[in-house]
Each structure stands twice: as C-alpha cells, then as structure tokens.
C-alpha cells in the first residue's frame, strides 16, 4: 500500500491547483452574473438572457488568466509565510 500513497501525494498539488483555479473562475462568473443580471433586469428580461451575455469565449479567457494569477499569488504567499 505504500506505493499508492506516494502516487497520491504527487497528485495533490495538481488537484489543489485545479480546485483553487476553479474556485476563482466560479467567483469571477458569479460576480459577473450578478452585475449582468442587475444591469438587464427590466421588463421581460430573464436570468437566461444574463447567462447568454456572460458566457463568452472572451470572458472565459479572462477568468482563466485571473485564476492562474490568483493561484500563483496564493502559492507565493503560502510558501513565503
């Protein structure tokens, strides 16, 4: 069982990066959705219309870049402190 534990420990940094970057992307999109839904909330406007406005390739690229920058800052602070 010892080799399994070594293999699992190598995956931890990768999974931690995926989870932290995913959380940053989630926060980005939730913030964007809140602002977009408030901006279009008029008569006949729906949540689906807000989703259509925010899920674009450009926003996804911004979210990924922000996530990796955020992850880098968190890892730098984690190692420094």
Tens digits of residue pLDDT in 29-42: 999 988 887 776 66
Token pair 């293999």 in the structure block, residue: 7
Q: Report the alpha-carbon distance of residue 45 to residue 50 in Å, rounded.
A: 8
**Residue 59 C-beta-side C-alpha neighbours within 13 Å:** 16
Other residues' Cβ atoms within 10 Å of the Cβ of residue 26: 12
Nearest to 78 by CA among 27, 28, 20: 20
- In which band, very low, low, confident or very high, does the pLDDT at 50 lie, cut at 50, 70 and 90? confident
**Looking at the predicted structure, is the pLDDT value of residue 69 above 80?**
yes
Give the Å distances, CA to CA, from 14 to 4, 35, 39, 42, 68: 16, 32, 37, 43, 13
Token pair 């931890």 in the structure block, residue: 12
């Amino acid at each position: 069982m010892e080799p399994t534990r070594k293999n699992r420990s190598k995956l931890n940094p990768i999974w931690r990066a995926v989870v932290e970057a995913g959380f940053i992307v989630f926060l980005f999109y939730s913030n964007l959705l809140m602002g977009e839904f408030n901006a279009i909330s008029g008569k006949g406007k729906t949540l689906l219309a807000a989703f259509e406005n925010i899920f674009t390739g450009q926003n996804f690229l911004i979210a990924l870049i922000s996530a990796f920058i955020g992850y880098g800052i968190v890892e730098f602070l984690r190692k420094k402190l």
